[in-house]
Amino acid sequence: MARIIGGLTTSHIPSIGNAVPREAQLVNDPYWEPFFAGYPPAREWVQKVKPDVAIVIYNDHGLNFFLNNMPTFSIGAAPEYRNADEGWGIPTIPPFQGDPDLSWHIIESVVEDEFDVASCQEMLVDHGFTVPMSLFWPNNSYSGVRTIPVCINTVQHPLPTPMRCFKFGQAIGRAIESYPKDINVLVMGTGGLSHQLDGERAGFINKEFDLLCMDKIVSDPEALARYSIPELVRLSGAQGAEFILWLTMRGALGNKVKKIHSNYYVAISNTATALMVLEKAA
């Protein structure tokens, strides 16, 4: 049977996508060094556990969906996924291999679990997907890993509640562990922690709440899932609602996890950037 080996979290800011190709040159840059310094231990862990499939939970920023057609939950079921120019100047990178068999198994399973999802047999992936893949598999070294995009609406209200997303992650976890093939599956939750990019609170950061989230997501994720969306926006900013993507990942991992590594840094694009490596406990 398929095994969930663990989860990763990371921010996915567009400026990171522009910086990734220059990481070697930025290693001593005071702005970027504290950010990139967090990733070598995570990359070493990824190489050690050797995932066959990475399920990437992210939010589309207008490349694939827009306000006139914004599904709450969507899952890719394509043989490959390509990215395109979003207007940020991020370089386009080689396509990502899909896993249609596992995708359809997950789609069918979560629908039976009473989650209504959009199944996407064609799907573009934006920086919310490509930046995390580039961070954990540098130099486009992801060719041996199959991928499944799971996109959740964090743009057009009403957003799914944190508890709904946590339970959606649990449903994904059950689907993976009922898949009959012998594969290792990694689940990734992307997005920044506290940040607000516009309005009167533009630049808002709540470090205390961010660190609380990074602690509780290991030991008591259901406590975080009990927040409402308005409470999450108040505490972490309008775009900080992306934390529901982390909660979805955590739901998939089951009751107990072990934190292997983490990093927290505030400087990039008025966003609290954070990285976590969580290993699923037996």
The tens place of each residue's pLDDT in the chain, 282 residues long, gives: 999 999 999 999 888 888 999 999 998 899 999 999 999 999 999 999 999 999 999 999 988 898 899 999 999 999 999 998 888 888 889 999 999 999 999 999 999 999 999 999 999 999 999 999 999 999 999 999 999 999 999 999 999 999 999 999 999 999 999 999 999 999 999 997 999 988 889 889 999 999 999 999 999 999 999 999 999 999 999 999 999 999 999 999 999 999 999 999 997 778 899 999 999 987
Instruction: Give the CATH number, domain containing residue 67.
Output: 3.40.830.10
Q: At which residue do the structure tokens 């505490």 appear? A: 235
In the chain, the number of structural domains is 1
Confidence at residue 260, expressed as pLDDT on a 0 to 100 scale? 98
Amino acid, res. 155:
V
127 a catalytic residue: yes
Question: What pLDDT, on the 0 to 100 scale, is given for residue 192?
Answer: 79
Query: Global pTM?
Result: 0.96
Q: Where are the beta strands (DSSP E) in the chain?
A: 3-10, 53-58, 73-76, 80-81, 96-97, 118-120, 146-152, 184-190, 257-266, 272-280
Range of the domain at 128: 3-280
- Dist CA 2 CA 103 (whole Å): 13
Q: Considering 61, 105, 195, 261, which one is annotated as catalytic?
A: 195
Alpha-carbon span 66 to 246, nearest angstrom: 22
Residue 214 CA to residue 193 CA, distance in Å, equals 9
157 an active-site residue?
no
Active-site choice (61, 127, 157, 261): 127
Residue whose tokens read 């089951």: 254
pLDDT at 270: 82
The answer to whether 78 and 123 have CB atoms below 8 angstroms apart is yes
